Amino acid sequence: MTAAPISLYLRLTGVAALWGGTFIAGRIAAPTLPHFTISALRFWTAFVILLPLLLLSERGLPRLGRRDLVYSALLALSGLVTYNLLFLGALELIPAGRTTLVVALNPILTAVTMALVCGERLPAFRWLGIFMALSGVVIVLAKGNPTLLLQRVGRGELLMLGGAACWAL
């Protein structure tokens, strides 16, 4: 096995910093700007940066059939537009750190959705991992007392949970 180049670790660190910064920036912007405006600014900025990179690396845009366009539009509506509106709504109500805990459910919800909707088989060790991750999120959200979970979960957490569900969809 060969060692990964340092540039890979630098890029991964950059992605983590940008991703994590989204929660803090969203927490600052959500109370002052309309959520749709923040989302639009976020994605137009990404578009301006990523489109030239796509055109350089792929030598053009990929060809999509009609069915692919429909699925892409539905995925964008669910995983981008609706997710971001719920995400920013949650950030207006709860601290950024708390939203990151709920976002930790994204892989869990995605795996369970794939198992239930698409019939993907999950081995026992994955179900164990899902249970452990979910238990950790519940304990942190409930501040150590899972029996008080419903008292500690408010509108902000429910908005973020809806966002995580949209992302998984």
> Which structural domain, as residue segments, surrounds residue 97?
6-168
- 119 located within any domain: yes
What's the token pair of residue 112? 């369970």
Q: What is the pLDDT of residue 73?
A: 92
* pLDDT at residue 91 tops 90: no
Residue 1 falls inside a structural domain: no
Tell me the average pLDDT across 63-81.
Answer: 90
Total domains in the chain come to 1
CA distance 25 to 29: 6
Asked whether residue 161 is domain-assigned, the answer is yes
pTM: 0.71
Q: Answer whether residue 77 is part of any domain.
A: yes
Distance of CA 23 to the CA centre of its chain: 11
Structure confidence at residue 60 as a pLDDT band (50, 70, 90): confident
Using left for φ > 0, alpha for ψ between -120 and 50, and beta otherwise, residue 79 falls in alpha
How many angstroms separate the CA atoms of 5 and 128, rounded?
33
What's the pLDDT score for residue 48? 93
Comparing 3-17, 31-45, 141-155, the range with the smallest average pLDDT is 141-155
Residue 71: inside a domain, yes or no? yes
Which pLDDT belongs to residue 67? Answer: 94
Q: How confident is the model over 127-165, as pLDDT tens digits? A: 898 888 888 877 877 777 777 777 777 888 889 889 988
